[in-house]
Amino acid sequence: MTTVHTDHGPLVLADQPLGTGGQARVFPVEKDDRLVVKLYHELDERSGRRLESMMRLPLSVRKAVTDTAPEVAWPALLARDENGKVVGYVMARIAGVGHVQLSALFSLAQRRRFFEGRANWNFLVGVAWNLSGVVARLHHSGVVVGDLTPANIVVDRAGFITLLDCDSMQFTDTVTRELFPCPVATENYAAPEVALHTQHSPQSDDFTLAILICQLLTTGYHPFCGQPTDGSEANMADNISSGRSYIVAPGRVQLFVQTVSADVLPPPVRDLAKRAFGDGLHAPEKRPTALEWAKVLGEVRDQVKSCERTPQHSFGEHLGSCPWCARRDGGLSDPFPAEQPVPPPPPPVPQPGPRRRRPLAKAAFLVLLAIFILLIIANA
């Protein structure tokens, strides 16, 4: 077993890691299932300074376990070896049966499996609101998320989100003013300027946030999905760089038949999306901020209607009728089908047992036998 040292004393790590990545492994802590320790394979001097700077950074987000999960998997304590060298950090344990990656909400099968009927459209609005609020508070604290992708976001069954891999987030040390940039980006979610190897910024976060919000509210369809109508071949990253979004310019892309229409987005949401993907595509300062998204989504949450035909359906009040029922009636898939009750098992089929003679029949047989014997004796 490995022992690491913290300001609160030593911690003994379990033998087997919970997970292993290219840079580090995450270990559970013996006798404390609330904590895990992230140990790096190798930690250079600059990365060690990054962790020490993170400990000093004041945050406006929840980073400790309370009644709900922390909003960021932020270092709680530095982990050192026996020589005092920083080798990793201690953080709250988040992973478990109660948390899944954000991408689980993009799939009907996973929504039904992990959220057991709770993940209707109103729930997705709440998750988007929570996400935008966390990003807004991080920006207020001077932190840029950078690699803001579904793989780095987990959500619990109540719709609360937690951002992972915080050691790649971008910030400036409050004392030394040293900048610690975000070194990674994910294709299909990176803003156009980041894809060209420009440094991350709050505005690049805002672009990715807009993608995630639209993807949530359309049940998983990326706002830059589809093929160009001009016949050219393009992937999603090409669509992003060219501004081919079916929300902003639906005539420029050919969509899959099952794609959820952008009409399900309430007008204030569509307006923000058009600013992000239209005017703000190559002008980051024109993109709506995370705080703007949080305010608009907070208002949308108060304006959600319930369907009279299908209790599981909810939608924006800007629509005159349920869009999900309309999809089902038109032969398309229903992203929020009514939960089908499991029928009770049939009653057991009686199994034939050994045949038993009835007592009355047996008595009658004995009486007849006795009479027959008496007749024989009388005639003898």
For the stretch 24-74, pLDDT in tens is 899 989 988 888 999 999 888 899 999 999 999 988 887 766 667 789 999
Residue with tokens 């040390």: 173
User: Residue 281 is part of a domain; what is its CATH number?
Assistant: 1.10.510.10
Q: Which domain holds residue 266?
A: 95-329
> Could you tell me if 74 and 212 lie in one domain?
no
> Could you tell me if 279 and 147 lie in one domain?
yes
Residue where a domain stops, chosen among 94, 113, 141 = 94
Which pLDDT score, from 0 to 100, does residue 369 have?
55
Give a yes or no: residue 368 inside a domain.
Answer: no
Residue where a domain stops, chosen among 69, 94, 119 = 94
Q: Which two tokens stand for residue 74?
A: 């932020």
Which pLDDT score, from 0 to 100, does residue 362 have?
53
> Could you tell me if 124 and 89 lie in one domain?
no
Do the beta carbons of residue 121 and residue 220 sit within 8 Å?
no
> Could you tell me if 85 and 164 lie in one domain?
no
What is the pTM for the complete model shown? 0.85
58 Cβ contact partners less than 8 Å away, ≥ 6 residues apart:
141, 174
Residue from 265, 146, 157, 168 nearest 216 by CA: 265
Which pLDDT score, from 0 to 100, does residue 144 have?
98
Which pLDDT score, from 0 to 100, does residue 183 have?
92
> Could you tell me if 229 and 131 lie in one domain?
yes
Which pLDDT score, from 0 to 100, does residue 351 have?
44
> Could you tell me if 84 and 124 lie in one domain?
no
Which pLDDT score, from 0 to 100, does residue 307 have?
95
> Could you tell me if 58 and 70 lie in one domain?
yes
The list of the chain residues with pLDDT below 50 reads 341-346, 349-358, 360
Which pLDDT score, from 0 to 100, does residue 34 have?
83
Q: Which two tokens stand for residue 276?
A: 């992000």
Which pLDDT score, from 0 to 100, does residue 357 have?
42
Residue where a domain stops, chosen among 287, 312, 329 = 329
pLDDT tens by residue, 134-190? 999 999 999 999 999 999 999 999 999 999 999 999 999 999 999 999 999 999 999
Which pLDDT score, from 0 to 100, does residue 304 have?
96
Residue from 97, 92, 112, 109 nearest 36 by CA: 92
> Could you tell me if 22 and 161 lie in one domain?
no
In percent, how much of the chain has pLDDT > 90?
A: 66
| DSSP single-letter state for residue 280 | T
H helix or E strand, kind and range, residue 53: helix 45-56
> Could you tell me if 112 and 4 lie in one domain?
no
Total domain count, the chain: 2
Which pLDDT score, from 0 to 100, does residue 317 have?
96
> Could you tell me if 81 and 115 lie in one domain?
no
Which pLDDT score, from 0 to 100, does residue 367 have?
54
User: Residue 39 is part of a domain; what is its CATH number?
Assistant: 3.30.200.20
Do the beta carbons of residue 5 and residue 80 sit within 8 Å?
yes
- What count of other Cβ atoms lies within 10 Å of the Cβ of residue 44? 9
Which pLDDT score, from 0 to 100, does residue 258 have?
93
Q: Is 344 exposed, middle or buried (0-12, 13-18, 19+ CB in 10 A)?
A: exposed
